[in-house]
Amino acid sequence: MKTLAELARDLRAGTTSSRGLVEECLARIANAAGEGQRTFIKVHADTARAAADCCDRLRAHGAQLSPFAGIPVSIKDLFDLAGDVTTAGSTVLRDEPCAEADAPSVARLRAAGFIPIGRTNMTEFAYSGLGVNPHYGTPLNPFERSRRRIPGGSSSGAAISITEQMCHGALGTDTGGSCRIPAAFCGIVGFKPTARRVPLDGVFPLSRTLDSVGPLAASVECCAILDAFLAAESSPGLDTRAVRGARLAVPQRYVLDNLEPHVARSFERALSQLSRARAELIELPLIELDEISRINAKGGFPAAESYALHRQRLDTQRAQMDPRVAMRILRGREQSAADYIDLFRARADLERHTARHLAPFDAAVLPTCAVIAPMLAELESDEEYIRLNLLAVRNSTVVNLLDRCAISIPCQEAGSAPVGLTLMGPPGGDRALLALAAAVETLIRPKAEG
């Protein structure tokens, strides 16, 4: 799988064309044995071809384009695209008006020359870490696909669009891990920025308090390039950072409880590789994280804020919704105004106390998810669905509650089930975290034998 930088070099050298890249992606969407249909809710084939032809003609005439102009990307179905209905992975929004303008995040990618090739599938209203969608089908994880493993969510289609090379970058959202969980389950990279760096205008909300906009891609460098454009930074370049001497906190207790054995082994393997590279690994009790279960006992911010948004829709269209999503939204009824105000106070306390402990460190390291991707058959009962969803989102939710940035990088042995290692950085420390993550990636990423 070529990186964005490699594709940019090919376009500059004339060894590929934008139209060629788009046609290759469209062919993969069409020929993916049903995965294309489950991965994309809508494919913009004609407009992608037209945009690609425009890029190619301009390059042929010597126009100075962005290095990435003409590279196809996918857009999660939460983002406004001018002329499209934003359905948020649901069927109840199909008759809503078309968006009049692109979301700013989409507009920024277009301005950099990226070509949206289609809208990707997702958990309805982004309210689950598993990626299951009963309306449009569930894209299947590339690992042991015959066993029908889930992709993770809510940015499920975004992840599969990358693993199947149906595009070369994916735009997702992350409220409690929705970029990082599918990245970890599918063996790619997912980045959650500090929320305030990328505007949320034109993005269908789950929880405005916790929502953020981030990329999924083949590598840390690819995510860093996309992030720079999303955050409207002056240069997509990434400074290098050595692992040697990096101070890395290893939180204990909460984020290490009930790890599946393969996850635990992969995490220990990654820590050993970092230690051999002379990173300074320091175990940190961080007992404040134990408060998260209490803070979210009534569903936390997502339940309260999604219920406020959907309560009238639940009265009239609940039968058309994924019943498991509707069930989670309805938990918002349990919260009073005082409960909601208490959430902000509890979050502020948690941020303050953990910041004191984490201040001396460049980043914290933890498993992205406590489990590997479950099989669809394991989710048939509501009880297992709830249990596995909690294990999928538990660690990633920490980052959103703390208003920090984080990235998930594959860390399993080659050929085994994908596992993600999370690097969590301080609020606003996004580019420094990405620089460190790029160095960590070279150490821990699974390498094919031979």
Residue 61: partners with Cβ closer than 8 Å, 6 or more residues away: none
Give the domain CATH number at 172.
3.90.1300.10
Express each pLDDT in 311-356 by its tens digit: 999 999 999 999 999 999 999 999 999 999 999 999 999 999 999 9
Q: For residue 6, what pLDDT is reported?
A: 98
pLDDT at 194 over 50: yes
CA angle 311, 82, 430 (to 5 degrees): 80
* Positive/negative CA dihedral, 254, 255, 260, 262: negative
Can you tell me the distance from the alpha carbon of 344 to that of 342, in angstroms, rounded to the nearest whole number?
A: 5
Coil, strand or helix at 280: strand
Active-site residue, from 105, 154, 306, 408: 154
Work out the mean pLDDT of the chain and round it to a whole number: 97
pLDDT at 143 over 50: yes
The DSSP string of 72-101 is EEEEETTB--TTS---TT-STTTTSPPPSS
Confidence of residue 237 (pLDDT cuts 50, 70, 90): confident
For the stretch 117-150, what's the b/e string if a residue is b when 16 or more beta carbons lie within 10 angstroms of its beta carbon? bbbbbbbbbbbbbbbbbebbbbbbbbbeeeeebb
Q: How many domains does the chain have?
A: 1
pLDDT at 374 over 50: yes
pLDDT at 174 over 90: yes
For residue 251, is it left (φ>0), alpha (ψ between -120 and 50) or beta? beta
Closest CA to 119 of 95, 132, 143, 103: 103
Helix or strand (DSSP H, E) at 172: strand 170-173
Mark whether 192 is an active-site residue.
no
In the chain, pLDDT over 70 holds for what percent of residues? 99
Q: For residue 364, what pLDDT is reported?
A: 98
Confidence of residue 100 (pLDDT cuts 50, 70, 90): very high
Angle between helices 261-276 and 430-444 (to 10 degrees): 100
- Name the pairing type of β-strands 247-251 and 280-284: parallel
Can you tell me the distance from the alpha carbon of 217 to that of 214, in angstroms, rounded to the nearest whole number?
A: 10
Query: Of 114-123, 232-241, 395-404, which gets the smallest average pLDDT?
Result: 232-241
Q: For residue 450, what pLDDT is reported?
A: 38
- Taking residues 418-443, what's their average pLDDT? 98
Closest CA to 367 of 155, 183, 184, 190: 184
Q: For residue 69, what pLDDT is reported?
A: 98
pLDDT at 175 over 60: yes
Mark whether 272 is an active-site residue.
no
Q: For residue 400, what pLDDT is reported?
A: 98
- Taking residues 365-386, what's their average pLDDT? 98
- Taking residues 363-379, what's their average pLDDT? 98
Q: For residue 384, what pLDDT is reported?
A: 98
Q: For residue 238, what pLDDT is reported?
A: 87
Angle between helices 300-317 and 337-358 (to 10 degrees): 150
- Side chain identity, residue 173: T
- Side chain identity, residue 153: G
Mark whether 178 is an active-site residue.
yes
Can you tell me the distance from the alpha carbon of 310 to that of 313, in angstroms, rounded to the nearest whole number?
A: 5
Per the listing, tokens 């890029």 go with 55
Confidence of residue 392 (pLDDT cuts 50, 70, 90): very high
Express each pLDDT in 41-72 by its tens digit: 999 999 999 999 999 999 999 999 999 999 99
Closest CA to 194 of 443, 399, 395, 414: 399
Q: What is the DSSP letter of 22?
A: H
Helix or strand (DSSP H, E) at 163: helix 156-163
Active-site residue, from 76, 128, 155, 408: 76
Confidence of residue 231 (pLDDT cuts 50, 70, 90): very high
Express each pLDDT in 258-286 by its tens digit: 999 999 999 999 999 999 999 999 999 99
Q: Determine contact, residues 369/391, Cβ cutoff 8 Å.
A: yes
Confidence of residue 448 (pLDDT cuts 50, 70, 90): low
Which residue range forms the structural domain that includes residue 103? 1-450
Lookup: tokens for 379: 């989710």
